[in-house]
Amino acid sequence: MRLTTEDSLCLVIDVQERLMPAMDAADETLARIHLLLEGLKVLGLPFLVSEQYPKGLGSTLGSVKERVGDSPTLAKVSFSCCDDPALLESLLASGRKNIIVCGVEAHVCVQQTVIDLAALEFRPVVVADCVTSRNPDDAGRALDRMGDEGAIITGAESLLFELTRTAGTDTFKAISKLVK
What average pLDDT does range 110-134 have in this prediction? 98
Sheet holding 152-154, edge to edge: 73-76, 47-52, 8-13, 98-104, 123-132, 152-154
Total structural domains in the chain?
1
The answer, yes or no, to whether residue 130 has pLDDT greater than 90, is: yes
CATH number at residue 115: 3.40.50.850
DSSP lists the bridge partners of residue 10 as 47, 100
Residue 24 has pLDDT above 90, yes or no: yes
DSSP structural state of residue 53: S
User: Parallel, antiparallel, or unpaired: how do β-strands 98-104 and 123-132 relate?
Assistant: parallel
Contact call for residues 156 and 32 (beta carbons, < 8 A) = yes
Q: Residue 115: what pLDDT?
A: 98
One DSSP character per residue, 99-127 reads EEEEEE-IIIIIHHHHHHHHHTT-EEEEE
Q: Which residues pair with 47 in a beta bridge?
A: 10
pLDDT in tens, 30-87: 999 999 999 999 999 999 999 999 999 999 999 999 999 999 999 999 999 999 999 9
Q: What is the pLDDT of residue 164?
A: 97
What pLDDT sits at residue 177? 97
Q: Evaluate the CA torsion angle 86, 92, 96, 97 in order and state its sign.
A: positive
- Give the list of residues 6+ apart from residue 117 with CB closer than 8 angstroms, or none: 82, 91, 99, 101, 123, 124, 151
Using a pLDDT cut of 90, give the percent of the chain over it. Answer: 99
Q: Which residue range(s) make up the domain with 46? A: 5-179
Residue 1 has pLDDT above 90, yes or no: no
pLDDT score of 5 = 97
3-class DSSP state of 131:
strand
Q: What is the mean pLDDT of residues 92-100?
A: 98
- Report whether pLDDT(133) > 90: yes
pTM of the model: 0.98
pLDDT of residue 163: 98
